[in-house]
Amino acid sequence: MKLTYRGTQYEKNAPVVETQPKEVVGRYRGLDWRFYGAKKPLYLQPRANLTYRGVTYQVHPTVANTPDVSVKPNAKLEPVETKAQSLMRNQVLKFKKRQKAMLSRATAEVKSH
């Protein structure tokens, strides 16, 4: 299929996936409803090193097997209740701080009139 983008013509190379019908799952308005599965497993295209505006990136990068430094193996975990209490306390403090700021603005506005 010939396509055009900003005056440049190119050929669309869509991969052809062979499918096979699976068993009938159900009926909807008198028609069979079924899923189709691939005959052979799909595979990712090989990695490509591309450059956009001087920045190099990969289309299908490999996952590095580096350990996560954010998780410490012997870190002491907080109980869920303690974490929930601190989150609730912070939420209440933020709300009170916002209320205080609104009241001080309203007071300043009343005094200026």
Q: How does pLDDT run across 31-61, given as a tens digit for each residue? A: 877 777 777 776 666 667 778 888 887 766 5
CB crowding 4-40: b at 16 or more within 10 Å, else e: eeeeeeeeeeeeeeeeeeeeeeeeeeeeeeeeeeeee
What pLDDT, in 10s, does the model give residues 60-104?
Answer: 656 555 665 665 666 666 788 888 899 999 999 999 999 999 999
Check: CB of residue 36 under 8 Å from CB of residue 20.
yes
